[in-house]
Amino acid sequence: MPLCQPCVKGLPGLEPGCAYCALPLKAGDPLCGRCLQQPPAWTSASIPLRYAFPIDRLVVRFKFQRSLVAGAALAQAMLRGPQPRPPSRPWLVPVPLHWTRERWRGFNQARELALLLSRNCGWPLAPGRLLRSRRTPAQAGLGRRQRQRNLRRAFRWHGPALAGRSLLLVDDVMTTGATLRACASALDGAGWLGIWVSARALDWNR
């Protein structure tokens, strides 16, 4: 069930921020300090929402209770928010779960988001798959450095060559960015890479 326009406008949005990670910044600053020191592999971040009430409740319902209504609301906000501007028609690449976790959960919320976005914007899912090649402890409760170590060499691409391709990594929430950075390193060789995420957690960057 789609949200009405006043409801969409009432969701907690992000102020203009870093072009790479969407962290809110002072007017005129294009990049945050971390992205200046350690630029990610992507060059564009499209994130419409701030991870706060009621977005946190929608994400939990979507991720752990398989609420497709909650997922549709997040996708709707993504489609009405800042849009990715790839140089060519991109492939959507959902951030993967390890197969054991996906089997236990019953679905991958990032893939469901990518399917909803694809149906509405016409950009296809990638013909290959980004795979989580080893099972890692849950990221919740870990700090940035712990998350980075946890995900080192955790992903690999299985599919056609990426040279010259435009790709959009799709996920539900960006926290420290460690997962997206690890995924991006596995997509090395793409012609252009952006991220399209429903919400951004801010407390991790204070």
pLDDT at 190 (0 to 100): 95
Question: With contact defined as beta carbons under 8 Å apart, do 80 and 115 qualify?
Answer: no
- Tell me the Ramachandran region of residue 83: left when phi exceeds 0, alpha when psi lies from -120 to 50, beta otherwise: beta
Give residue-wise pLDDT tens across range 80-91: 999 999 999 999
Mean pLDDT in residue range 42-54 = 94
Give residue-wise pLDDT tens across range 142-201: 444 554 455 556 789 999 999 999 999 999 999 988 899 999 999 988 999 999 999 999
Give residue-wise pLDDT tens across range 17-40: 899 999 988 877 889 988 999 999
User: Using 50, 70 and 90 to split pLDDT, how confident is the model at 57?
Assistant: very high
- Structural tokens at position 88: 């060519």
Please indicate whether residue 26 or residue 128 has the higher confidence score (pLDDT).
128
- Structural tokens at position 152: 């080192």
Question: With contact defined as beta carbons under 8 Å apart, do 170 and 198 qualify?
Answer: no
Q: What is the residue extent of each domain of the chain?
A: 5-205
Percentage above 90 pLDDT, the chain: 59
Distance of CA 22 to the CA centre of its chain: 11
Strands 155-158 and 129-132: antiparallel
In DSSP terms, which residues pair with 24 in a beta bridge? 17
pLDDT at 123 (0 to 100): 98
* Nearest Cα to Cα of residue 95 among 33, 10, 174: 174
Render 90-127 in DSSP notation, one character per residue.
PEEEEPPPPHHHHHHHSS-HHHHHHHHHHHHH-PPBPS
139, pLDDT greater than 50:
no
- Structural tokens at position 110: 């990032």
